[in-house]
Amino acid sequence: MRSALGALFLVCALGSVATVSSAAELAAEQVLHKGNGAEPQTLDPHKAEGVPSSHILRDLYEGLTSEAPNGDIIPGGAASWTLSEDGTVYTFKLRPEARWSNGDPVTAMDYVYGLRRSADPVTASKYAQILAPIENAESVVAGERPVEDLGVTALDDFTVEIRLKAPTPYFLGLLNHSSTYPVHRATVETFGDKFSRPGNMVNNGAYVLDDWVVQSHIVLKRNPMYWGDANTTINTVYYYATEDQSSELKRYRAGELDYTYDVPVSQVGWIRDHLGDELEVSTYLGIYYFGFNVTQPPFKGNLKLRQALSMAIDRRVICEKILKLGEQPAYGFVPPGITGYESQVAGYADMTRDERFAEARRLYNEAGYSEDNPLQVEIRYNTHENHKKVSLAVAAMWRAVLGVDYTLINEEWKVFLQTRKLKQDTQVFRAGWIGDYNDPYTFLELMHSKHGINDSGYNNPEYDALLAEISVQTDMDRRAKLMEQAERMLLADQPIMPIYYYVEKGLVKPYVDGFVPNIMDHHYTKNWRILAH
Amino acid sequence: MLSFAFKRLLAAIPTLLVLITLAFFMMRLAPGGPFDLEKPVPPEVRANLDAAYGLDKPLIVQYASYLGDVLQGDLGPSFQYVDYTVNELIAQGFPVSLKLGFSAMIVAVFFGSIFGMIAAMRQNSATDYGVMTVAMTGISIPNFVVAPLLILVFAVAFGWLPAGGWNGGAWQNMVLPVIALALPQVAYVARIMRGSMIEILRSNYLRTARAKGLPMRQVILRHALKPAFLPVLSYLGPATAGIITGSVVMEQIFSIPGLGRFFVQGALNRDYTLVLGVVIFYGALIIAFNFLVDLLYSVLDPKVRAQ
Query: What mean pLDDT is predicted for residues B35-55?
Result: 83
Mean pLDDT of B250-278: 89
C-beta separation of A167 from A473 below 8 A: yes
Q: What is the DSSP letter of A211?
A: E
Other CB atoms closer than 10 Å to residue A96's CB: what's the count?
A: 13
| Residue A487: predicted pLDDT | 96
Residue A150, pLDDT score: 96
The answer to whether residue B260 neighbours chain A at the CB level (below 8 Å) is no
- Between B39, B41, B163, which is nearest A250 by CB? B163
Q: Quick check: A244 and B252 CB within 8 A?
A: yes
Amino acid A436: pLDDT? 84
Contact A1, A169 (CB under 8 A): yes
Contacts of A193 in chain B (CB under 8 A): 77, 82-83
Residues in CB range of A313: below 8 A, 6 or more apart:
A393, A394, A397, A398, A497, A499
A chain contacts of residue B87, beta-carbon cutoff 8 Å: none
Q: Measure in Å the smallest separation between the Cα of A92 and chain B Cα atoms.
A: 29
Which helix (H) or strand (E) segment is A434 a member of? strand A428-434
Compute the nearest-CA separation of B220 from chain A (Å).
Answer: 45
Compare CB distances from A253 to B81, B84, B156 and report the shortest one's residue: B156
Q: Is the pTM of this model over 0.90?
A: no
Q: Do A244 and B265 touch (CB under 8 A)?
A: no
Identify the closest residue of chain B to A122 by CA–CA distance.
B48
Q: Ranked by mean pLDDT, which of A177-181, B80-84, B296-300 comes out on top?
A: A177-181
- Which residues have CB under 8 Å from A340's CB, separation 6+? A2, A476, A480
Beta strands at A159-163 and A152-156: parallel, antiparallel or unpaired: antiparallel
**A interface test, pick of B28, B35, B81, B82 with most A CB neighbours within 10 Å:** B82
Q: Whose CA is closest to B102, among B185, B193, B194? A: B185
- Contact call for residues A345 and A355 (beta carbons, < 8 A): no
Phi, psi of A292 (to 5 degrees): -105, 135
First to last CA, chain A: 41
Are B42 and A141 an interchain contact pair (Cβ–Cβ within 8 Å)?
yes
Question: For residues A107 and A158, is the Cβ–Cβ distance under 8 A?
Answer: yes
Q: Provide CB contacts within 8 A for A396, sequence distance 6+.
A: none
> pLDDT digits over A10-44, tens only?
333 333 344 444 557 899 999 999 999 988 989 99
Q: A126 to chain B: which residues are within 8 Å by CB?
A: 35, 37, 41, 45, 49
Give the number of A-B residue pairs with CB atoms closer than 8 Å: 141
Q: Collapse the DSSP code of B134 into the 3-class scheme (helix H, G, I; strand E, B; otherwise coil) and give the result.
A: helix
- Mean of all residue pLDDT scores within chain B: 87
The whole-number pLDDT of residue A266 equals 84
Q: Give the pLDDT confidence score for residue A23 in this predicted structure.
A: 55
What lies within 8 Å, CB to CB, of A363 at 6+ separation is A304, A305, A307, A308, A311
Q: What is the pLDDT of residue B261?
A: 83
| List of residues 6+ apart from A47 with CB closer than 8 A | A41, A123, A124, A125, A126, B82
Task: Determine whether A224 is exposed, middle or buried from the number of CB atoms within 10 Å of its CB (0-12, 13-18, 19+).
Answer: exposed
B63: left (phi over 0), alpha (psi -120 to 50) or beta: alpha
Which residue, among B28, B48, B160, would best test binding to A if mutated, counting the most A CBs under 10 Å from its CB? B48
Positions in chain A whose pLDDT score sits under 50: 1-21
**Contact call for residues A412 and A451 (beta carbons, < 8 A):** no
Task: Please report the pLDDT score of residue B296 as a whole number.
Answer: 80
Question: Rounded to whole angstroms, how far apart are CA atoms B263 and B275?
Answer: 6
Report the chain A residue with the minimal C-alpha distance to residue B77: A193
pLDDT confidence of residue B144: 86
pLDDT tens track for A464-489: 999 999 988 878 889 999 999 999 99
Residue A4 has what pLDDT? Answer: 39
Q: ipTM for the complex?
A: 0.86
| Nearest by Cα to B38 from A47, A137, A498, A454 | A454
CB distance B159–A254 less than 8 Å?
yes
Contact between B163 and A254 using a beta-carbon 8 Å cutoff: yes
Restricting to B residues 155-174, those with a Cβ less than 8 Å away from any Cβ of A are 155-156, 159, 162-166
